[in-house]
Amino acid sequence: MTKLLHETIGAMLERQVHQFGSKEAVVYAKENVRYTFSEFNREVNSVAKSLLDLGVVKGEHIAVWATNVPEWLLLQFATAKIGAVLVTVNTNYQSTELEYVLKQSDATHLFIIDGFKGTSYPKAFLDLTKSGDQVINGKCALHDLPYLKHAIYIGSSPQFSFMSWNEFIQCGKSTSEEELDIRKKELDPHDVINMQYTSGTTGFPKGVMLTHYNILNNGYQIGQCMKLTEEDRLCIPVPFFHCFGCVLGTLAAFSAGATIVPIVEFEANLVLKTVEQEKCTALHGVPTMFIAELNLPEFDTFDLRSLRTGIMAGSPCPIEVMKNVMNKMNMEEITIAYGQTESSPVITQTRTYDPIEYRVNSVGQALPGVEVKIVDPLTSKEVQENQIGELCTRGYHVMKGYYHMPDATKQVIDQDGWLHTGDLAKMNESGYVQITGRLKDMIIRGGENVYPREIEEFLYTHPAVQDVQVIGVPDEKYGEIVVACVQLKENETIIPADILHFCEGKIARYKIPSHIFFVDDYPMTASGKIQKYKLRETAVKWTNLDSKLEK
């Protein structure tokens, strides 16, 4: 019988405080921030009371746009303790994408840091204001964002328009522990507590509604597959805004009583330095992160003997990379995980004892309490062992649905509760799953999901563009890269650099095409549908030629 946790995230934290109170829970090595479980819980309660003082009610949506700063972590647990829904905003987003998420999610509060990779978050947010809008000392009155009440700035440099983090914390001083306790008693494990944005075949981001029960149990089962205990110290360089960071990382570790060692922004050198300094026993990452770490000129100078396990996920892992991680990084018990945001996110995972061929050629077996079946995409009937079909899953981990999108929810969750992933897979007689392709045209670039339709819709707004098709082509570094094949309007003459300039500051950098090719027409079927697979074959040749010319 599978053990499932019937409690809220806040209750889980308090249970661990009772057992491991004086043990280190959170370590930010570079920033010299350390919390025991008891200290972390006190800080979380302080943030929770400040949210209550601002009038945040159960079910209200709180957006956070930040890297892996300590405040992000505090907000994750504080919102859970008061029953607010944490809306996680991709750190790569630009102003247009931020506006969409804030509007679609009905977010009432926004927490932001100074910025990331050259993008000023305060400026990007204030750029959304129009004539008559006001953002004064954190109080917001924006015509296009009617639900947004407060904007809070996480950082040391003064920001006139925003409420500072310190001012926010002061708000909670007048709120009693009793008020917080009353709110905690109103909560249910099946309440929605987390909302992350993901795109589908339409390309428009959808808010995936996840509950305490969804992500807490998924994190717990993930940790069990890694054999995590209170003796482990998990380094987390993957972003918190992804489930990889806040579920496979934070919740997997805390549900086992392990210590987390977050990295605010990924730097290969900093990760290995932190692992050595803090004697981390586990390390997470997408394949490109591990490749960057292994290829550091000074790699051999780091003592990584403390490492044992971790998770590699986000995109397929080359066998040589896996072997090097196991042998050179001492991660003999590293695991591979597969899933999607709609499934909290992990569906299948390899175990620490699986042989290397399973860890590279498969994505493991279903987690305990999770059902997996492979079906014919046309008939929905289950296929035989080792036959390719669509992977479907059912269990505690399946999302409540897409926010404000009931029709889209019905398209992916059938009447029997099966989530249709859109991924093609096959499963052997032992239950090990191998992903063979995608029903969707989704591109995975360095672990980031890129949805062609979303980029196409944006590029259509360029005045010279008549039509555009976005595809992914193979790349040694990123797995896949984004390529745009553009048809120009008659008498228009622009160059690829013009398209790239149009994208800058408006869509995330990982979505900006690496190559742009101008075409007169597209390969079509007799019924008039564009044959993207043929376009992709041609684009691969163009891309290879382009790369040679650049060299």
Count of residues in the chain: 551
| Cβ–Cβ under 8 Å, residues 447 and 314 | yes
CA gap 470, 451 in Å, rounded: 9
Which one-letter amino acid corresponds to residue 143? H
* Residue 213 backbone dihedrals phi, psi, to 5 degrees: -60, -45
* Residue 68: predicted pLDDT: 98
Residue 540: name the closest of 477, 478, 488, 471 by CA.
471
Q: What is the pLDDT of residue 72?
A: 98
d(CA 23, CA 21): 6
- Distance, in Å, from the CA atom of 80 to the CA atom of 183, rounded to the nearest integer, reads 11
The answer to whether 215 and 194 have CB atoms below 8 angstroms apart is yes
Q: Do 437 and 424 meet the contact criterion of CB atoms below 8 Å apart?
A: yes
Nearest to 14 by CA among 49, 46, 38, 31: 38
At 86, list the tokens. 């944490």
What is the rounded distance in angstroms from the CA atom of residue 247 to the CA atom of residue 7? Answer: 16
8 A C-beta contact, residue 368 and residue 397: no
Is this prediction's pTM over 0.95? no
> What is the reported pLDDT for 283?
98
**Token reading at 252:** 């997997």
pLDDT in tens, the chain (551 residues): 788 999 999 999 999 999 999 999 999 999 999 999 999 999 999 999 999 999 999 999 999 999 999 999 999 999 999 999 999 999 989 999 999 999 999 999 999 999 999 999 999 999 999 999 999 999 999 999 999 999 999 987 878 899 999 999 999 999 999 999 999 999 999 999 999 998 643 457 899 999 999 999 999 999 999 999 999 999 999 999 999 999 999 999 999 999 999 999 999 999 999 999 999 999 999 888 898 899 899 999 999 999 999 999 876 676 778 889 999 999 999 999 999 999 999 999 999 999 888 887 899 999 999 999 999 887 899 999 999 889 999 999 999 999 999 999 999 999 999 999 988 889 999 999 998 766 667 788 888 878 777 888 789 889 998 888 899 999 988 999 999 999 898 889 999 999 999 999 999 999 999 999 999 988 864 434 577 778 888 989 988 877 666 65
Q: What is the 8-class DSSP label of residue 338?
A: E
CA distance 137 to 272: 40
Which token pair is 5?
Answer: 């946790």
Strands 259-262 and 233-236: parallel
Pairwise CA distance, residues 326 & 355, whole Å: 11
Complete domains list, the chain, with CATH: 9-328 (3.40.50.12780), 443-550 (3.30.300.30)
Maximum distance among all Cα pairs of the chain, rounded to whole angstroms? 72
- Tell me phi and psi for residue 44, to 5 degrees: -60, -45
User: Structure tokens of 298?
Assistant: 């000074």
Dihedrals phi, psi of 38, to nearest 5 degrees:
-65, -45
Q: What sign does the dihedral 382-385-390-395 (CA atoms) show? A: positive
